[in-house]
Structure 1
Amino acid sequence: MEHPGPPRFIAVGESVQLAPRDPDPDAPYEWRIRSAPVSSTVEPPDGTAVIDFTPDAPGRYTLELDAREKTYTLTIRAFASEFAPGDVGGSASGVSGVSGPQSGSARSVPEHGAVSGSGSGARSGTETGGRPRVQLHGTVDGDELVVWANPLPHPGNEHAGEDLDVEFLVDDRDEVKEGAIQRDGRELRIPISAVGDRVRVHGVAVGETYSVPDTIDFSREVVVDGGESRTVTKPTDTTADDGEIRTDAFVARRPNDPPEWATDVTLYEIYVRGFLGDEAMTEADDPGSEADDPESEAANLGSEAANLGSEADDPGGETGAESDESATATHTDGRSVFDRIADRLDYLEELGVDCLWLTPVLQNDHAPHGYNITDFFSIAEDLGDREDYERFVSAAHDRGMKVLFDLVLNHSARDHPFFQDAYGNPDSEYYDWYDWQDSGEPETYFEWEYIANWNFENLAVRRHLLDAVDTWFEVADGFRCDMAWAVPDTFWQELRDRVKSRDPEFLLLDETIPYVADFHNGMFDMHFDTTLYFTLRQVGRGHADADAVLDAVEGRDEIGFPPHAAFMLYIENHDETRYVVECGDEAAMAAAGALVTLPGVPMLYGGQELGQRGRRDALAWEDAREEFREHYERLLDLRNEIPALGTAGGFSRVSYETDTDRAVAFRRELDDSAYVCVLNFGESPATVTLVEPVDDTDLVTGESLLTADGLEIDDVAVFHAG
């Protein structure tokens, strides 16, 4: 289906890239505006399949896309420019933000039953302060589909959610009879007789700004009679081939919720060309020997401040082989790297890991990090082949582990044959596959010299990458999406719909630095918590008080992430100096505690639990620090034993006193269970006095920490409260 996707909520002056989905690169496509606000003069360019649309007046726009066999409509709700959220820039991610030519025509806006609320974008927008949030809920009530909204004010707003408006849009892709939609404030009703087999309702909360949209998806599905309880209106019973009676029913789903399995896992990043350690390398294989590598284990002994691998220097890891310090993996015994990594799965299972993220495994330009891809459809020869990779995935699944595929879509390597053909050759069929500077050099970010950015305005590029997505979707449980901020939002939305239609439990995790709330608008399930990462680094170095971690967690709501968004917590990865190197042993122990006690999904980077010091060195398995490994094992066991420490648990501040600004306390609770967690990032034990009564036995160590002056905390402690 070439329909361009869900309706959009946007503000005047913001841009959104629009494109046909599942495109045929050789087919003609044409955009036009069917209706728009009277004062609008914006027009899409002629004969262009992919456009950047920038509304110039508040109100509602209806766009039409002429495709191969059908004309599709798309609704865009444009708020006045002053409603633009602060974290949304003038263009979407990966998009230039330039609007099409304008004309002097004025067009009226027809009535459209899919919109409720203020509708005009002319509110003063002064009484509700900060970006609101919203959750939509749906059910079947008799012979009607019902959606109701729960708008939430900005956490710093002294007004209640009752002061917020709500606007709904029914998806243009779904059959709904005109005039059948009934609206009553924050509730929307649609008679079942007025819809086809599916209807999606999108909504935002509107105050001083508009929220990240949320969605309810109603669909008919055949349910085994006597199976899961569902609300059914006018059911149609049928007899299946196996003789069982089934019932045709509408089911309401929340598609923006993350997969349930993903919120309960412990993630582990495997740097595939370093994870095996010295067994997989020889000195000749190592492109950056210890003598040349300022971040190698030998060079880092005793160092506390190395920061050569920071995001500022290399946020995506897209550097050349000669600047990468990892060992190149080999498999001289005839077994693939994947088979040999699988040998470590029992260790990871014992550690408490149940989800694996492998750094890129596709054919590349031989930079060991693998992010410079030369073939998006083939496994890297030095790692094995697809059969080897699939055997690894099966071995992980046998242990109850999920596997995330590192998906790199922003760029190719400059060694990619398409780029080699296009470079300096405007007549190449691949020249328009890339973005180019006026100088004739490819566009890239941060002056990375080994990659070239794809041109997402070219349908052939989209087709190529969607085909790659289809290829690797089959052998993964989710995608870790590299440099998500550098790919157009609407491409991610198409990708999400594409994979979720086949497997709703498929996980999409975005690397976006800093994180962006709007990336939970039909794009991703889980987000790198970059704010908490940065804060834990600052606290670990002594540049911020420990209670700054509480501000970082609360910042998710303040920036506008909806309540259903999930977050991955981390203190290091393949792009970062090891936390223990930068912050020291004591802070590293406390940071490990933060990963398992703060709300979110913990992620360990391979070797983190060993006290590894080199960022991309071969893991020093023989020199593992047992105190680190045992510490992580205890903490991960505790997180699994106490559901309140997981993503479902509540989080709040508590009153406490301490003799150091390096310590912080907070509360986690779920149902009738409550716990107080204390972190100490200092080099010396901290004495903490809690106002709330707790059992003085630390659940991490099993020992009482009570002294005459209060509770004595070395690094992390968890106490049963109340």
Structure 2
Amino acid sequence: MDTEQIKWWQRAVVYQIYPRSFQDTNDDGIGDIQGIIAHLDYLKQLGVDVLWLNPIYQSPNDDNGYDISDYQKIASDFGSMADFDALLAAAHQRGLKLIMDLVVNHTSDEHPWFKASRQDKLTPYRNFYFWRAGNGDSAPNNWDAAFGGSAWQYDEQTNEYYLHTFSTKQPDLNWENPEMRQAIYRMMTWWLNKGVDGFRMDVINQISKRPGLPDGPLKPHSQFGDSQVTNGPRVHEFLKEMHQQVLAQFEVMTVGETHGVTPADVLKYAGKDRQELDMVFEFQHLRLDNSQHGFGKWSTRKAPLVALKRVINEWQVGLHDQAWNSLFWNNHDTPRAVSRFGDDRPAYRVCSAKMLATCLHLLQGTPYIYQGEELGMTDAHFTELASYRDIETLNAYQDLVNDRQLLTKADMMARLAASSRDNSRTPMQWNQQLNAGFSSVTPWIAVNPNYHEINVAAALADPDSVWYHYQRLIALRHQEPIVTLGDFELLLPTDTAVFMYRRCWQDQTWLVVCNFTAQRVQRPIMAELKDSSELLLSNYADDLADKLRPYEAKVYRC
């Protein structure tokens, strides 16, 4: 690849906004669209190129907006369509692109399509969803839902079950039905004609189920990598049709959320000539700290560095010059990066947050920054179940503690503190004022108590803050083609402390060296770099050359 072949989204840095927790301007404790508009200049100053909004559509909020009841209306919590139009215009005026969250594996059970489907077996909308007769007194198959319980919900009105691979209020759409697909395509075209710049596609590799919906393992959900509901036989047919009928008509970017995929799978979803998606989110690196005792994501483990390097290497090498990587440490469904992969203790939070940023942003791919990551925001460390709001978290506690009694309350609370999605959903920390400047009233979820130390105002006032380190990394990506175009080579693959890799392009070579521990370490190669290389970036003020201090990161031009 050369500079003339680069797509705009390959040079870009994406900033993910969770609107509910970004900025409240109407004093209801919930973030809103006007709050995003108020901070566009802040985002422009940071240097990002694209804003990704989590769902802002009309929804009863069983799963915080991922249960959509109207794809073409804005939820009143966030504002109006006029507010959205103003946001889109204001973003474009600043040279910022905006992509929407596309949730088309399922709708809300309050969507008009589903309401019609459960009222009459003969309506055309019945086949927009998966309705099946039961197997005697039991569900049509043995599938479990991602949020616990059976994936089938019995409906007394029609004496049949409907499929929901997530919440009971999120019935799965039937992509086998061409009429349903055309309704989705019309909706997508409507948003693109409005001017949005693309879509992040929620669990998009689940839209094709196995023919006949056969029994499978007890946990046939995508986050466990099972094939019953992911990477189905017609998924590429559907995505090619979507691309041909909708996406190819616009200059947009697409990124698909795809659990349970390998690099080989992604060459089918996002290969250069596939005409499906531009890139995907893979989750192999986020499963490395899962429980080793059958509790899935509910774990307090740290990801082993050697395994983390192996996974990242597989994706960097496996997709190079054939497809495009998305780069991320965290999002709205995961714990905070500095708490999960770094060290959020006060002595190490800043340097480890900078180290993680350096390690990620100089890989090949499009980086995604989750709101507050640029500040080094940490997990919430909630100690009471009442503090949590997430349906997945609450259901897991009920299942593992109350129902099956597999874990004690204390053990489960420790696992929630490390793994709950609510860790990333606490309000954005703007300043030291009431509720971190997010709202003048009690927020929908508690503010992290450390907002007095960690906030935007403090970061902008400190030239050595995590924020300015992110700004410098973004500038490097924009200024230096090697970051976008360079080959990747992993060094020291079995080193348990140091993540070191080389980027090469034309006659340039960069070396990225990151210490993932709180210990001081020494590696022979570091001494060799002192006289032969230029130090481009570091997260320490001085340079000891042959040593790496706790969580130190260095970038050399060799």
TM-score (norm 2): 0.66
Partners of 1:620 and 1:655 lie apart in 2 by: 38
Identity %: 27
Partners of 2:59 and 2:236 lie apart in 1 by: 26
Give 1:576's match in structure 2, choosing from 318, 323, 334: 334
Partners of 2:372 and 2:492 lie apart in 1 by: 36
CA contact (8 A) 2:515 2:549 kept: no
Q: Which has the higher contact order (CA 8 A, sep 6+)?
A: 2
CA contact (8 A) 1:372 1:413 kept: yes
Give 1:523's match in structure 2, choosing from 276, 299, 317: 276
Partner of 1:393: 88
Query: Residues 499, 689 of structure 1: CA spacing in aligned structure 2 closer, same or farther, 3 A cutoff?
Result: farther
Q: Give the drift of 1:372.
A: 0.7
Q: Give the drift of 1:443.
A: 0.7
Tell me whether 1:450 sits opposite 2:203 in the alignment.
no
Q: Encode CA deviations 1:98-139: one digit per residue, 9 max, x unaligned.
A: xxxxxxxxxxxxxxxxxxxxxxxxxxxxxxxxxxxxx9xxxx
Q: Give the drift of 1:476.
A: 1.0
Partners of 1:368 and 1:280 lie apart in 2 by: 23
Q: Encode CA deviations 1:378-398: one digit per residue, 9 max, x unaligned.
A: 222332333321221121112
SS in 1 for 2:242: helix
Q: How does 1:497-508 map to 2 (within 5 A)?
A: 497-503=244-250, 505-508=251-254
Partner of 2:363: 598
More strand by share: 1
Q: How does 1:285-364 map to 2 (within 5 A)?
A: 285=29, 328-329=30-31, 337-364=32-59
Partners of 2:314 and 2:353 lie apart in 1 by: 23
Partner of 1:567: 325
Q: Give the drift of 1:537.
A: 9.1
Q: Encode CA deviations 1:678-715: one digit per residue, 9 max, x unaligned.
A: 111112333333176442635235855235x5455643
CA contact (8 A) 1:643 1:649 kept: yes
Partner of 1:473: 192
Partner of 1:682: 517
Aligned residues: 406
Q: Give the drift of 1:605.
A: 0.8
Tell me whether 1:609 sits opposite 2:351 in the alignment.
no
Partners of 1:712 and 1:639 lie apart in 2 by: 25
Partner of 1:621: 430
Partner of 2:15: 268
Query: Residues 497, 374 of structure 1: CA spacing in aligned structure 2 closer, same or farther, 3 A cutoff?
Result: same
More helix by share: 2
Partners of 2:287 and 2:483 lie apart in 1 by: 22
- The AA in structure 1 aligned to 2:312 is V
Partners of 1:524 and 1:656 lie apart in 2 by: 31
475-484 or 379-388: bigger deviation: 379-388
Partners of 1:535 and 1:674 lie apart in 2 by: 30
SS in 2 for 1:389: helix
Q: Give the drift of 1:457.
A: 2.2
Q: Encode CA deviations 1:73-108: one digit per residue, 9 max, x unaligned.
A: xxxxxxxxxxxxxxxxxxxxxxxxxxxxxxxxxxxx
Tell me whether 1:482 sits opposite 2:202 in the alignment.
yes
Partners of 1:274 and 1:605 lie apart in 2 by: 12
- Alignment RMSD: 3.0
Q: Give the drift of 1:640.
A: 3.1
CA contact (8 A) 1:405 1:479 kept: yes
Partners of 1:486 and 1:568 lie apart in 2 by: 19
CA contact (8 A) 1:359 1:406 kept: yes
- The AA in structure 2 aligned to 1:458 is N
SS in 2 for 1:699: strand
Query: Residues 609, 601 of structure 1: CA spacing in aligned structure 2 closer, same or farther, 3 A cutoff?
Result: same
TM-score (norm 1): 0.52
Partners of 1:630 and 1:557 lie apart in 2 by: 27
CA contact (8 A) 2:15 2:50 kept: yes
For structure 1, the residue ranges without an aligned partner over 5 or more in a row are 1-134, 136-253, 286-327, 330-336
Partners of 1:548 and 1:643 lie apart in 2 by: 29
SS in 2 for 1:373: coil
- The AA in structure 2 aligned to 1:635 is L
SS in 2 for 1:566: coil
Partners of 1:656 and 1:481 lie apart in 2 by: 33
598-607 or 660-669: bigger deviation: 660-669
Query: Residues 533, 449 of structure 1: CA spacing in aligned structure 2 closer, same or farther, 3 A cutoff?
Result: same
Q: Give the drift of 1:530.
A: 2.3
Partner of 2:257: 511
Q: Encode CA deviations 1:513-569: one digit per residue, 9 max, x unaligned.
A: 13332212321111114234445999x9875553444422331377x6472311111
Tell me whether 1:643 sits opposite 2:481 in the alignment.
yes
CA contact (8 A) 1:541 1:582 kept: no
Partners of 1:444 and 1:673 lie apart in 2 by: 51
CA contact (8 A) 2:289 2:304 kept: no
CA contact (8 A) 2:257 2:282 kept: no
For structure 2, the residue ranges without an aligned partner over 5 or more in a row are 135-159, 208-234, 292-298, 380-422, 432-450, 460-464
Partners of 2:237 and 2:427 lie apart in 1 by: 38
